[in-house]
Amino acid sequence: MVTVNLMRNRTFAAYWSGTLALQLVNQVQTLLFAWSWSQLTSDNAFWVYFATNIPFALLTLFVGYLGDKFSRKGLHLIGQVFVLAGLILAYDYFSHTVNFALGLLSLLLMNNGIAIRGPSYQATIVSLFPVEKTESVLSVHGMAVNIARVLSPLLLALVLRFNLPTLPAAIGAIATLWAAFTIVVLDQGAWLSSHLREKTSPALRKIPFKLIGIAYAVAFCCCSLQVLTPSIAQNYTLLNPQVPVLSAFSMMMGLGAIGGTLFVHKLPRISASYQVAALLMLYALLLLMTFPAELTSTSISMLICGLCTFVILVKLNVLFTRTFPPQQRAFGLSVYFFSVYLGAASGSIFWGMLAHRYGINHSLFISAVAGGALSLYFYRYFKADVAAVNA
The string of pLDDT tens digits covering residues 260-305 is 777 666 655 445 555 666 666 677 766 666 555 577 777 888 888 8
Look up residue 165 and give its DSSP letter: T
User: Mean pLDDT, to the nearest integer, of 16-32?
Assistant: 87
The yes-or-no verdict on residue 53 having pLDDT over 80 is no
pLDDT in tens, 110-160: 999 998 998 889 888 988 888 888 878 888 888 888 888 788 878 877 877
Write out the CATH class of domain 9-193+205-390.
mainly alpha
State the burial class of residue 364 (Cβ atoms within 10 Å of its Cβ: 0-12, 13-18, 19+). buried
CB contact at 8 A, 251 and 153: yes
Measured between alpha carbons, how far is 174 from 249 in angstroms, rounded to an integer?
28
Domain boundaries, the chain: 9-193+205-390
In terms of Cβ atoms closer than 10 Å to its own Cβ (0-12, 13-18, 19+), residue 268 is exposed
- Contact in structure between 325 and 123 (CB atoms under 8 Å): no
Percentage of residues of the chain with pLDDT beyond 70: 79
Per-residue pLDDT, averaged over 8-26, amounts to 92
Provide the mean pLDDT of the chain: 78
pLDDT at 27 over 50: yes
CA 343 to chain centre: 12
Spatial contact of 79 and 113, defined as CB atoms under 8 Å apart: yes
Burial string for 313-327 (b: 16+ CB within 10 Å, else e) reads: bbbbbbbbbbbbbbb
pLDDT of residue 175 exceeding 80, the answer is: yes
Highest mean pLDDT among 19-23, 50-54, 96-100, 142-146: 19-23
Q: What is the pLDDT of residue 43?
A: 52
Q: How many CB atoms are located within 10 Å of the residue 200 CB?
A: 6
From start to end of the chain, where are the E strands?
none
pLDDT beyond 90 at 1:
no
Determine contact, residues 355/268, Cβ cutoff 8 Å: no
